[in-house]
Amino acid sequence: MKAKVNYTIITILCLLIATFGVVIGYKERTIDSLRHELALAKHTAEARKVMVEEARLLQKAVNASHKALRVTVTAYNPTASQTDSDPLIAASMRKVREGTIAVSRDLFDQGWVFGKKVRIEGLGIFEINDLMNKRYTKRIDVFMWDESQAKKFGKRTIKAALLSL
């Protein structure tokens, strides 16, 4: 009789331990899922913060529209035919990258210098990183890695504003 009771107790304890193992596994998966959701929420919040900041900058540029100029906007690539001898280094001595532009020297002389931000209507906000050839005036060149994309971009006359950040 005592052996049956001990066997029953041991069986019940083993079942309880197995049940706890399943519950703990389920809870760990739930915790991992919640951690993932939290990381996603943090990423989403950071992206929204960036979007709000960009909207603030755009609004600031729109409010300062008297500073906006109509300029010719084209695109360029890091090829020797479109740049100097080192197509991967800009006039600012920094590497070329998406989100940057080259400006004509007349704009550069008006304070459109390296590191400043420029809002180009319909395209977004860019950083000045390079200079164009002397022959161009009132002109901006948007950097693009893809040559076919740059050709497709073409030549446009658009409003651009130097942002004072």
- Which residue matches tokens 């703990």? 24
User: What distances in angstroms separate CA 129 from CA 6, 34, 88, one per listed residue?
Assistant: 81, 42, 12
Q: Which residues contact 70 (CB under 8 A, 6 or more apart)?
A: 138, 157, 158, 159, 160
Mapping DSSP onto H, E and C, the string for 44-71 reads HHHHHHHHHHHHHHHHHHHHCHHHCEEE
The answer, as to whether pTM is greater than 0.75, is no
The band of 65, judged by pLDDT with boundaries at 50, 70 and 90, is very low
The band of 157, judged by pLDDT with boundaries at 50, 70 and 90, is very high
Domain residues of the chain, as ranges?
1-63, 67-163
CB count in 10 Å sphere of residue 131: 21
pLDDT, residue 3, reads 76
Of all residues in the chain, the percent with pLDDT exceeding 70 is 91
With 60 as the cut, is the pLDDT of residue 22 above it?
A: yes
Q: Which of 14, 141, 35, 1 is nearest to 78 (CA)?
A: 141
Tokens representing 77 are: 């690539």
Beta carbons of 88 and 61 less than 8 angstroms apart: no
pLDDT, residue 47, reads 86
Report pLDDT digits (tens) over 95-140: 788 888 989 999 988 888 888 999 999 898 999 988 888 999 999 9
Q: Which of 138, 160, 155 is nearest to 76 (CA)?
A: 155
Q: Which residues contact 83 (CB under 8 A, 6 or more apart)?
A: 76
Sign for the pseudo-dihedral over CA of 103, 108, 111, 116: positive
pLDDT, residue 165, reads 63
| Domain at 67-163, CATH homologous superfamily | RlpA-like domain (2.40.40.10)
